[in-house]
Amino acid sequence: MHYYEALAEEIRISAARLLAEDVGPGDITAQLIPERQWASARVITRENAVLCGVAWVDELFRRLDHRVELIWHAADGDALQADQCFLELQGPARSLLTGERPALNLLQTLSATATRARYYADRVADTGVRLLDTRKTLPGLRLAQKYAVTCGGCYNHRIGLYDAFLIKENHIAACGSIAAAVHEARDIARDLSVEVEVENLDELAQALEAHADVVMLDNFSLDDLREAVRLNAGKATLEASGNVSETTLESIAATGVDCISIGALTKDIKAIDLSMRIDHVETR
C-alpha cells in the first residue's frame, strides 16, 4: 500500500478507535443537554506550537456527527502563537462536548511531535544535514507521528521492519559478517535500501566495501564522525545516531554527516496545552 493511502486508512482507523475508547456505548453526561441545543466553540493553544492533526479531527467529527462544522484558521505545519484560536466548531452541543477530548488528545500529541521536530530542525537549518525520526513512536501512532515529524520540518527514517533493511550487530553476528549480511539483503529485495549499523571505523570500511546504501555511525565521537566522512568520500549516505541531544546536535551536524537520527522527536514529547471553549448556545 502506498504511504499516503496507508496514512488515510490510519486516520480512519484511529478516529474510530478514539471514539470507541472514550464514548463507548454513549456519552451519558452529554445527555444532560437538550438534543436541540446548538453551540459554537473555539479551540485555542495556551503555548506556542506547530499544528498537526487536522485530518484526524475532521474525520473524528465526521464519524461522530456530520452536522458539526469545523472552520480551521491554520493548517498542519503552521506555527501557532500562545492564546491563538486556530479552530472554530459549530453544531449540536452534545456532539461538540462528546468529541472534545478525543480531538484535543490527538491534536495535543501530534502537535507536540511537530513542535519538537521544528525546534530541532531550526537548530540546524543553516546546514545540509537531514534530521530523521526513528521507530521509537507511541504505540498505535506510528504513521501519525511520522507524519507529524514531516510537518515540523524533519524527515522519516524507515516506517517499519518491512520497507528498508537495517542490519545491526546481532544480524551481522547471525549472518557471519557485514559483507554476508549485505549480500543476503540484496538477494532478498534488491530494490530496498540496505543500511548497516557500525560501531567503529573498521566496520565502516567493511560496510563501504560491501556497498551498503546507508551506514549508521553508532555513538561515534566527533573526531571519528569527521574521519568517517573523509573515508566515505560520498560513497554511501552517512547517518549519525546515538548521543544526540540539544547540546550535541549542532556539533554533530558540523562534522559533515548526511543525516542524524533522533529518537527524542517522537518518544520524549510533552503534550501541547490546548483548550476548547463554548462561547454561544442556542435552541433550534
Q: Which of 62, 101, 270, 277 is catalytic?
A: 101
- 125 phi/psi in degrees, rounded to 5: -65, -25
Cα distances (angstroms) measured from residue 192 to each of 132, 182, 187 = 18, 11, 11
Q: Which of 136, 186, 226, 267 is catalytic?
A: 136
What is the rounded CA–CA span in Å between residue 245 and residue 226?
18
Q: Which of 59, 100, 218, 239 is catalytic?
A: 218
- 263 phi/psi in degrees, rounded to 5: -65, -30
Q: Read off the C-alpha cell for 197.
A: 549499523
Give the list of residues 6+ apart from residue 191 with CB closer than 8 angstroms, or none: none
- Does the annotation mark 270 as catalytic? no
- Does the annotation mark 27 as catalytic? no
- Does the annotation mark 168 as catalytic? yes
Other residues' Cβ atoms within 10 Å of the Cβ of residue 12: 14
- Does the annotation mark 218 as catalytic? yes
Q: Read off the C-alpha cell for 93.
A: 452541543
- Residue 162 one-letter amino acid: Y
- 75 CA to centre of own chain: 16
Q: Which of 76, 100, 195, 197 is catalytic?
A: 197
Q: Which of 168, 226, 235, 267 is catalytic?
A: 168
Give the list of residues 6+ apart from residue 22 with CB closer than 8 angstroms, or none: 101, 102
Look at residue 71 and give its three-state secondary structure: strand
Active-site residue numbers?
A: 101, 136, 168, 197, 218
